[in-house]
Structure 1
Amino acid sequence: MTIWARITTCAFAIREFIAPTYRPERYYMRGPGPACARRQGMRSVEARASFH
């Protein structure tokens, strides 16, 4: 392994430590968001009003 290859590898490791690359699994939404909850809340209010 040449000195430049070691420097490049070390620089990449430092960069990954400081600012990791994007990983979608970290940002994967695990459930419905607040907008969906608001819509569902409005539907349940409308459904209750129609039964009376």
Structure 2
Amino acid sequence: MSIARQSLTVLEQHLRTTVTKWRKLLDTARDPYRPELYYMRGPGPKWHAKHRQDNVL
């Protein structure tokens, strides 16, 4: 194998690696799942009913 062919093979490997990393990055950026939309925002009505204090005068 000639030196030119070897350097072309190395270049192809680097390009494939770079393309793979860019694809993963773009897939991550396009991921529609946003966990912050599903987090609880605070205690709900059942918690309030259970922890209610009847200190009203």
Range into which the TM-score falls when normalised by the shorter chain: 0.3 to 0.5
TM superposition score normalised by structure 2:
0.41
TM-score, scaled to structure 1: 0.43
Structure with greater Cα Rg:
2
